Amino acid sequence: MMKTDWLYQYNKKLTTAEAAARAVCDDDFIMTPLCLGQPSTLIPDAIADRKDELKNIEWRWNLATRPYKMFQPEYRKTFKITSGFTGTPFILSQFQGLGYGPYAPVTVFTSLKQWSYYRKPDVIVAMVTPPDKDGFVNIGPDCMFSRALLEGQATSRGFVGGPRILIGEVNDQYIPACGDTRMHISNFTHFVENSSALPAFPAAAPKDIHHKMAASVVSLLRDRDSIQIGIGAVPMLISDLIAHSDLKDLGLFTEMLPTGAPLWQEKGILTGKYKTFRPGEMSASFIGPVKELFDFVKNNEDVKFFCGEVMNNPSVIGREEQMVGINGALEVDMAGQVASLTIGNKMVSGYGGQSDFAMGCRLSRFGRMIIVMASCTKDKDGKLVSRIVPNLSPGALVGTLACHVDYVVTENGIAGPLDGLSIDERAEALIKVAHPDLQEELTRAAKEKGLFK
């Protein structure tokens, strides 16, 4: 295609937010990518402004990073807000008093089938960079949801997926990233140009217990491990400890790029030499709203972003010789079942990729799945409540199966390896890392369950 051809196409599709919003029809199912790939408030708010004209719109938001207008109560008659992953105050506000009713169970890997076959979106609004000299925009460091979500997929039964309307918000402040990140402007139906700053969240403030948990996790790591880890207080501390450790030749095969990646590389700890998937590179599917990573990933050939059906495919993950998943939890029962989505009927996050990586670590020859959490919390009256429990809270959704968990780490130590242990033995190991003031109560509860006979 001649340069003038794509420029003509682009200019023909270039419009205002209000005009793009008029492409939405009654009964449409609308989606956006995850995190930084989401548009600014400009286009979603223009669609929200049509609340008195439209009816029965479902909008699927995952990890919403901005206070979109439609999240306000007066828009709920027109816009049904659902989510496959909550995790931010903006989207969690939509679940107040609703339990987990509007939650749509999906892992990152299973999203390919869901969005290209069962629940094909009608409209997608995504952040992109300005087009390059060949007419390709960059979808940036946010490839977690499959490209099939944006452009469809060719299969043996024909072409499936792809939206009726694909709106690209062209932002010159967005981050061009390397990997499977380029899309031609011909895939889009509308473009809206809007220069806007990217959201950046403050780093979590670590506490003493976070330091203890991080030290225990790092003690379980080995040279040549491929690591999957996210962001937060504990991952941040783990990153720092790794940077000052004597570990060698680590690799990154992860969903979310950790904040420590630049320092690991600078110190020569992160080489990726022994990775199976694209050795020598850092492999991820997205970054969080972490300003320190924005410049690091920009056009960085050492960091490649790939979609969820690759990065979260258990069979791909399992080909890594030493795959280590490091993930959080809300509750763990005495068998080792992990509730990481809900506290009882209260929605907190989503399946995300934890179960994908748990299965992948199980397939990995020397893989390990590490669950990290504080041993307890406090209720509204300040009373200690154990997060290691005899039974998961009624209504809790299991995020990771007991048979896929190798270690549970709290501030009180390490339970594991759990693989091969009986339920009695698992309960004993887990009670030992519970809060000391609650261990006697947990032991009694275990006996009431018929354990420790």
Catalytic residue IDs: 255
Half-sphere exposure of 43 (CA within 13 A, CB side): 33
CA distance 416 to 418: 4
CB atoms within 10 A of CB 299: 11
CA distance 259 to 288: 9
Annotate 213-255 with DSSP letters as a single string: HHHHHHHT--TT-EEE---SHHHHHHHHHHHTS---SBEEB-S
Residues sharing a CB contact under 8 Å with residue 257, sequence separation 6 or more, in sequence order: 141, 282, 284, 286, 287, 293, 297, 303
Beta strand 79-85 with 153-155 is unpaired
Task: With beta carbons less than 8 A apart as the criterion, state whether 371 and 407 touch.
Answer: yes
Instruction: Classify 68 as helix, strand or coil.
Output: coil
Task: With beta carbons less than 8 A apart as the criterion, state whether 257 and 286 touch.
Answer: yes
Task: With beta carbons less than 8 A apart as the criterion, state whether 256 and 231 touch.
Answer: yes
How far is CA 424 from each of CA 145, 390, 412, 428, rounded to the nearest angstrom? 40, 12, 20, 6
Residues sharing a CB contact under 8 Å with residue 154, sequence separation 6 or more, in sequence order: none
